[in-house]
Structures are given as C-alpha cells and as structure tokens.
Amino acid sequence: MARKGGKDRGILFKEGKWWVRLFVNGREKWYRAENKTQAKVLYGRLKAEIREGKYFPEKFNKPKDITLQAWTNRYLEGSTNIGIGNERRYGRFWTHLWGKRLLTQITIEDCRQVQARLKAKGKIKPSTINRYFAFLRHVLMMAVDDEKLSRNPVSGVKFFPEAERIRFFTDKELIHLHNLMDSENWKLVALAVETGLRQNEQFHLRWEQISFESTTLTIPLPKGGRTRHVPLTEEAIRILRSLESFLRSPWVFPGVRNPLSPMDSRAFLRRAFEPALRQAGIANASWHTLRHTTASRLVMAGVPLPTVKEILGHRDIRTTLKYAHLAPSHIKEAIQQGSLSHLGIGTGSKTGSALGEGRSESSQVLDMLARPEGVEPPTARSVV
C-alpha cells in the first residue's frame, strides 16, 4: 500500500491488484490499474481533472465491448416472451449475419443495406422483414439502456408499410369447418374462438389455470407481460368439462404419445386443422385467424373496445382499434350525437316541416340571389 499522508495516498495495492481510490462530491470511486506506474498516472490525471472541473468517470470506466452474438445470447437466456421460438429464429439470423461484430460497429447504413437486400430477393414478405428488424431494435435498445451503446442504429431504419387487413372466419366458414372436422379436434378450434387465446397459450394450458367456480382462465405472464384473466363463456366451460385429460395429465391438451408433455401445436395443425381448411376451400387463414374471429365477433356484438382489449390481452389499445370498423352500432350511435335532431330542427320536427311556410324575410331575399353553378346542385331559382 502507498504510504499514508503521501501525495499518492489514493493508490492502494489490495488482493494482488493495484487500485485508484477517489472521493468525488462525497462519493467513493474505485478504478483498477494494471501496475503501480499506471495507477500513479491515472491517479494524477483524475485528480487534475477534478481540480479543473473536467472529471468524467465514464472516460475511465467504460464498459467492455461486446459482440452481437454474446449480447443476443444473453438476451435470449433471460427472455420470458411467449414468442421465444420466433425470437430464437430471429436471433439465429442476426448472429449468422453479424455475430462476431461488436455492438458499436453496427451502423444505420448496415441495417438499411440488409433491409434493401432482403426486399430485393423477394422471398420474404415486407411484414416478416419488419419482424426481424423489430427484434434487433428491441435487443439493441436493451444495450442502450445498459449503456453498452450510445444510440440504437435500428432507430434510423424506416420499416415497410403493412396493410391493416383483418381476416376472420365467417359464420358460414365456421359451420363448414365444424362439419368437416372430427368432434375432438373441433373442440380445440371452438375453444380458441370462445376464449381468444393465442396458439401457444392454448396448447400450453394447464388444468390448474382454470377455475370453474369463478368461470375464469388465468394466463400468467403472457405476451403483454402481465397476468391476464380470461372470462369463460358457457360454451367454453362445456368444452372443458367434456375433456378427460385431467385424469391423466396436468395439461388440458396433452401430447398424443406422452401425456406428461403438452400437445405439439404444429403437429395438430398439419394433422387436423390445415387439411380441414383445404377441404373447406378456405384460403388466407391460419390458427391466428381464430383469435381475429374472437375479437371480430365481440366487437360486432357491441362489446366496448376497452373490454375487448382486456379479454384478448392487448398491450396497446391501438391493436384493438383495428377492429373498430366492425362496430356499426357504435359508429351509428356516435354520429347521432352530432345530428341536428338534438336541436329540434331536423326534417321530422315541426320547425323543419314548416320551413316553407315560416321563412323569415331575410331568408327569402337570400333565396333569390344567384348561386354559382358547380358549388351546389342547381335549383329552380339558380341563375345560369
């Protein structure tokens, strides 16, 4: 240890390493040095900067650079996102492309070039490209929050526009699917429509999540990041009570070969759902279309949009607003609020029906004025 009372009393040798200790604004700061000489130089420089008011600890305490692969792996290890399968796929793509590159070496221009190349190939839809870049943006934003980056390069990339087209099953299509599918397979489809669960939420549903007493279904830590309670309809309760899997498995829909594991959703889609869609002649539909169907049927039934948001577990109300056009009664009620009928001067009121009889003198004079063609349809008194 350096001598007490000396000019380099902030230099200490501790546990086999050299350290620099400073007190700045009443707070203790420690910096590690490779040897005593380096510690003396660092100590003198820091003390001078403190005296001159130029002390910036980040200059000597910079976080170590990290590669994109290492940072992505760290993110995936701690991810609790319900779509972890997709995240792993996106992570593999970016790791294969820039895995050995440091986070600080990724630029906006690099991102734009990759985006342009993916679009030029034409093999990936623009919406899918957006999902890949959304993942990278999220991962790098966490690096910014952790002070590994000063700016997120993906923030300067403009995403491709996506068509807001909501595809849902009509009543006719649902009836057709019901007639084509096996009764046991149809129960999975019907429950999806009754609850609006996501694919992963339904196929990983446990019996302990269901309460027949309160007629609710609990989804812990779903995609929105908070526990969701889904109310069960009478039909949903009948479907659940008809299942016998509770006698042999903790899963509502257990695996075909191993009841102690959940059913493979992809295998069910290939085996039962997708063949039924083809046989019914239903195009441009997927399992997620059932979730759209739930939202659409609720909105068309007059359920308020905030309630639909809570049932489906949307994180942002803007997601639910995509179904607003399906609420004609809601729109009609809104437009009626601005109607002239509230003032008592509509065509069905006494004032409106007597307009021809009780005109004021000023209105009669205005009616006789010439009206330019093209502004409004000509009348008997228009001057051409």
What's the token pair of residue 251? Answer: 């899963």
Q: What is the mean pLDDT of residues 35-43?
A: 83
User: What is the spatial distance between Cα 197 and Cα 179, in angstroms, rounded to a whole number?
Assistant: 23
Tens-digit pLDDT profile for residues 131-176: 999 999 999 999 998 888 889 999 989 999 876 668 899 999 999 9
What DSSP letter does each residue of 58-71 carry, written as one string? GGTSPPPP-BHHHH
Instruction: Taking the CA atoms of 93, 97, 102 and 108 in sequence, report the sign of the dihedral they define.
Output: negative
3 DSSP assignment? P
User: What is the spatial distance between Cα 282 and Cα 361, in angstroms, rounded to a whole number?
Assistant: 65
> What pLDDT does 38 receive?
82
Assigned fold of 68-156: DNA polymerase; domain 1 (1.10.150)
Q: Which of 8, 77, 72 is nearest to 44 (CA)?
A: 8
User: What is the spatial distance between Cα 127 and Cα 133, in angstroms, rounded to a whole number?
Assistant: 10
Q: What is the mean pLDDT of residues 183-201?
A: 94
Burial (0-12, 13-18, 19+ Cβ within 10 Å), 330: middle
Query: What are the sequence ranges of the domains in the chain?
Result: 11-59, 68-156, 171-330, 347-384
> What pLDDT does 293 receive?
93
> What pLDDT does 105 receive?
92
> What pLDDT does 222 receive?
61
What's the token pair of residue 100? Answer: 């050995």
Cα distances (angstroms) measured from residue 282 to each of 77, 184, 197, 277: 39, 21, 21, 5
Q: Locate tokens 């694919």: which residue?
A: 199
What values do phi and psi take at 237, rounded to 5?
A: -65, -40
CB contact burial 85-103 (16+ within 10 A = b; e otherwise): eebeebbeebbeebeeeeb
**Between 263 and 343, where is the model more confident?**
263
pTM of this prediction exceeds 0.85: no
User: What is the spatial distance between Cα 363 and Cα 369, in angstroms, rounded to a whole number?
Assistant: 10
CB contact at 8 A, 49 and 117: no
What's the token pair of residue 2? Answer: 């350096």
> What pLDDT does 21 receive?
85
Residue 336 binned pLDDT confidence (cut-offs 50, 70, 90): low
Q: Which of 91, 105, 95, 104 is nearest to 138 (CA)?
A: 91
Q: Give, in words, the CATH class of 171-330.
A: mainly alpha
> What pLDDT does 377 receive?
46
CB contact at 8 A, 67 and 100: yes
pLDDT at 305 over 70: yes
> What pLDDT does 361 receive?
45
CB contact at 8 A, 198 and 83: no
> What pLDDT does 382 receive?
40
> What pLDDT does 54 receive?
64
pLDDT at 235 over 80: yes
> What pLDDT does 331 receive?
59
CB contact at 8 A, 283 and 274: no
Q: Tell me which amino acid residue 96 is.
A: H
User: What is the spatial distance between Cα 164 and Cα 167, in angstroms, rounded to a whole number?
Assistant: 10
Q: Which of 377, 381, 340 is nearest to 364 (CA)?
A: 381
> What pLDDT does 13 receive?
87
Q: What is the average pLDDT value for the chain, to the nearest integer?
A: 81
CA geometry: angle 61, 62, 65, nearest 5 deg: 145
What DSSP letter does each residue of 133-152 carry, written as one string? HHHHHHHHHHHHHTTS-SS-
Instruction: Taking the CA atoms of 106, 111, 113 and 117 in sequence, report the sign of the dihedral they define.
Output: positive
> What pLDDT does 337 receive?
65
pLDDT at 239 over 80: yes
**Between 95 and 343, where is the model more confident?**
95
> What pLDDT does 180 receive?
94
CB contact at 8 A, 223 and 313: yes
Tens-digit pLDDT profile for residues 219-234: 886 665 678 899 999 9
Residue 41 binned pLDDT confidence (cut-offs 50, 70, 90): confident
CB contact burial 200-210 (16+ within 10 A = b; e otherwise): bbbbbbeeebb
Give the whole-number percent of the chain exceeding pLDDT 90.
Answer: 46
> What pLDDT does 197 receive?
94
**Between 108 and 356, where is the model more confident?**
108
